[in-house]
């Protein structure tokens, strides 16, 4: 996806060369414009094949490659292509439909009942009462606030750290691969594993952080990271930044490498300082990469459940580290279940995720990258 983002970025920077750099008609039009050698030439070859490829024959190929002359029969060809493609995508799509969209729909339905989880839910008496209750719930306000703080801090800092690392790495350096391997390494670990490591890092008396603070004479300010309400959420944020800023670096590095050299040179010739060069020329061109990485990070932030659950020993981290994901699990699965209530919290979480994904998907669509 990032690869495509990068390509479309390059395309938009060359847009004066392409007459129709707007929304391509075909979903993969973006590819075509950039790779005339590999596909469009071959396409015209196909049309001129000796023996006269008529509409029916070329209908065996991709419909968009039949050219305008076969417009009249295009409808039926498309239909047969469509029918032939069904066995390929329908099974997977049905599974996703059931497990994702069906489940979300069902979850919404459950959130409209007053089901506790015992017996069967009563689907005949639906109301928004649960949501009204939720809006009055102080624990919900608190969890929402923590979720937003976590999301913004984690996403923002990870992006900045990732960008700075990428800028440093975007040149010929020795051991470049070694550095990259180390930076990306934490991302291969599960939240559960990182939570175990960081529980030791944060240990109040023997953990690495406080031992180091003491060693440099700052023992007096060494906090009880996992016990003090002021630090509980930030302990999570720091660990998540550690885990995912390497990912941001990889995304930005790919985007930086796609920027043509002459952009740097032109700015240099104009006498731009390095700072100005990045602010005015480079960073604006990284918008697509930033957007893609932000979406991924926000979703990870909403999933931070695993980390908090493990590092705080269950679904009761206390109000200062309570996030919506934890609250949802607690309401639905821990102690006395309140499935309707848990489902309502889950819907709020889903809407939050949607609020981030929708602009991204829309931008992708406008670029013709869907």
Partner 1 sequence: MSNARPSTEETAESRFDKLNYRRIGLYGLLGAVAVLFLVPLVSGLMTSLKGGNAFATTLPFVPPSPDVATLEPWSTAFSRLGGAMINSAAVAIPATVFSALFGSMTAYGLTKIDWRGQLVVVVLLLAAVFIPYQAVLVPLRQGWTMVGLEHTLELIPVVGDALAARTGLFELIVTHTAYGIPICTVLFRSYYQKLNDEILEAARLDGAPERRVYRRIVLPLSVPMFAVTLIYQFTQIWNDFLIALVLLNSPENFVVTLELNALAGSMQSMYNVQMAGAFLAALPTLLVYIAFGEQFAKGATV
Q: Determine the Cα–Cα distance for residues 35 and 43; give it in Å rounded to an integer.
A: 12
95 near partner 1, judged by CB under 8 A: yes
Please give the structure tokens belonging to residue 256: 């930086």
211 near partner 1, judged by CB under 8 A: yes
Pick the binder of partner 1 from 15, 18, 103, 123 (CB under 8 A): 103
93 near partner 1, judged by CB under 8 A: yes
Pick the binder of partner 1 from 8, 9, 11, 31 (CB under 8 A): 31
- Whether the Cβ atoms of residue 361 and residue 370 lie closer than 8 Å to each other: yes
- Whether the Cβ atoms of residue 115 and residue 340 lie closer than 8 Å to each other: yes
78 near partner 1, judged by CB under 8 A: yes
Task: Give, as ranges, the residues between 290 and 329 that touch partner 1 (CB under 8 A).
Answer: 295-296, 299, 302-303, 305-306, 309-310, 313-314, 324-325, 328-329
Closest approach, Cβ 257 to partner 1, in A, equals 7
Helix/strand/coil for 124: coil
Closest approach, Cβ 132 to partner 1, in A, equals 19
Pick the binder of partner 1 from 20, 23, 44, 60 (CB under 8 A): 60
End-to-end CA distance of the chain: give it in Å, rounded.
9
User: What are the percentages of helix, strand and coil residues in the chain, rounded to 5?
Assistant: 75, 0, 25
Q: Determine the Cα–Cα distance for residues 113 and 344; give it in Å rounded to an integer.
A: 10
Closest approach, Cβ 113 to partner 1, in A, equals 11
Q: Determine the Cα–Cα distance for residues 122 and 124; give it in Å rounded to an integer.
A: 6
4 near partner 1, judged by CB under 8 A: yes
Question: Per CB under 8 A, which region of 8-16, 124-132, 173-181, 220-228 contacts partner 1?
Answer: 173-181
**Residue 352 backbone phi and psi in degrees, to 5:** -60, -45
Binding map of partner 1 across residues 225-264, x = CB under 8 A, - = no contact = -----------------x---xx--xx--x--x---x--x
- Whether the Cβ atoms of residue 251 and residue 183 lie closer than 8 Å to each other: no
């Amino acid at each position: 996806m990032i690869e495509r983002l990068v390509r479309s970025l390059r395309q938009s920077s060359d847009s004066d060369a392409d007459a129709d750099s707007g929304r391509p008609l075909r979903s993969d039009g973006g590819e075509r414009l950039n790779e005339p050698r590999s596909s469009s030439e071959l396409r015209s070859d196909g049309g001129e094949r000796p023996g006269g490829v008529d509409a029916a024959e070329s209908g065996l190929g991709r419909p968009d490659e039949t050219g305008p002359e076969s417009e009249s029969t295009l409808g039926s060809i498309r239909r047969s292509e469509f029918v032939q493609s069904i066995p390929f995508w329908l099974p997977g799509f049905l599974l996703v439909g059931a497990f994702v969209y069906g489940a979300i729909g069902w979850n919404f339905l459950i959130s409209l009942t007053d089901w506790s989880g015992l017996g069967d839910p009563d689907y005949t008496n639906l109301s928004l009462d649960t949501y009204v209750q939720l809006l009055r719930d102080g624990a919900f306000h608190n969890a929402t606030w923590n979720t937003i703080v976590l999301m913004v801090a984690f996403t923002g800092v990870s992006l900045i750290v990732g960008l700075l690392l990428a800028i440093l790495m975007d040149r010929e350096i020795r051991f470049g691969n070694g550095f990259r391997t180390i930076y990306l390494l934490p991302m291969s670990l599960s939240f559960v594993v990182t939570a175990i490591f960081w529980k030791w890092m944060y240990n109040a008396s023997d953990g690495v952080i406080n031992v180091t603070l003491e060693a440099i004479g700052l023992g007096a300010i060494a906090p009880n990271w996992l016990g003090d309400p002021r630090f509980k959420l930030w302990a999570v944020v720091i660990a998540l930044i550690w885990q995912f800023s390497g990912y941001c670096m990889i995304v930005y590095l790919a985007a930086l490498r796609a920027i043509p050299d002459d952009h740097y040179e032109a700015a240099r010739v104009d006498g731009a300082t390095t700072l100005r060069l990045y602010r005015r020329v480079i960073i604006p061109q990284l918008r697509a990469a930033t957007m893609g990485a932000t979406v991924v990070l926000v979703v990870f932030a909403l999933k931070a459940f695993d980390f908090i659950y493990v590092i705080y020993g269950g679904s009761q981290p206390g109000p200062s580290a309570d996030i919506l994901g934890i609250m949802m699990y607690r309401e639905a699965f821990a102690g006395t279940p309140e499935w309707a209530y848990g489902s309502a919290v889950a819907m709020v979480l889903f809407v939050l995720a949607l609020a981030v994904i929708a602009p991204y998907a829309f931008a992708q669509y406008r670029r013709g990258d869907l």
